[in-house]
């Protein structure tokens, strides 16, 4: 009977490094995919407008929160980001969320 337990312990200690290696490989593979998504995000017209809207909403939210934290007026006009900067910020956010999502699954 003790030999079966020892054999079981050997198998269980072997599974953990293989699982870690698999998740590391998955994360490594997901980074180039995320970079490709970031690159292609601004090219499709409908998706481009979608990510611009997300970036503008994120910009308004973060600016309002920062103003409240620093005690400045929050009813002041917040200038929107230009299109290029909005696409860049939103595509970076999209790529990072993709990597985070893949890492969170495993």
> How far from each other are the two terminal CA atoms of the chain, in whole angstroms?
34
Q: Is residue 44 part of a domain?
A: yes
Q: Is 97 left (phi over 0), alpha (psi -120 to 50) or beta?
A: alpha
Q: What does the pLDDT read at residue 1?
A: 47
* Count: domains in the chain: 1
Domain that holds residue 53: 30-105
Tens-digit pLDDT profile for residues 57-99? 999 999 999 999 999 887 889 999 999 999 988 888 888 888 7
What's the CA gap between 104 and 33, in Å, rounded? 16
Q: Is residue 3 part of a domain?
A: no
Q: What's the pLDDT band for 13 if we cut at 50, 70, 90?
A: low
Q: Is residue 64 part of a domain?
A: yes
Q: Is residue 100 part of a domain?
A: yes
Picking from 67, 68, 42, 65, the residue whose alpha carbon sits closest to that of residue 55 is: 42
Would the pTM of this model clear 0.85, i.e. be above it?
A: no
């Amino acid at each position: 009977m003790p030999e079966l337990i020892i054999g079981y312990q050997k198998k269980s200690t072997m599974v953990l490094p293989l699982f870690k290696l698999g998740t590391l490989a998955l994360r490594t593979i997901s980074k180039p995919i995320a970079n490709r998504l970031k690159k292609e995000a601004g090219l499709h017209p409908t998706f481009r407008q979608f990510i611009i809207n997300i970036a503008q909403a994120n910009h308004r939210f973060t600016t309002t929160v920062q103003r409240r934290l620093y005690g400045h007026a929050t009813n002041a006009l917040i200038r929107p980001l230009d299109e290029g900067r909005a696409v860049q910020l939103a595509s970076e956010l999209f790529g990072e969320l993709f990597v985070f999502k893949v890492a969170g699954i495993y």
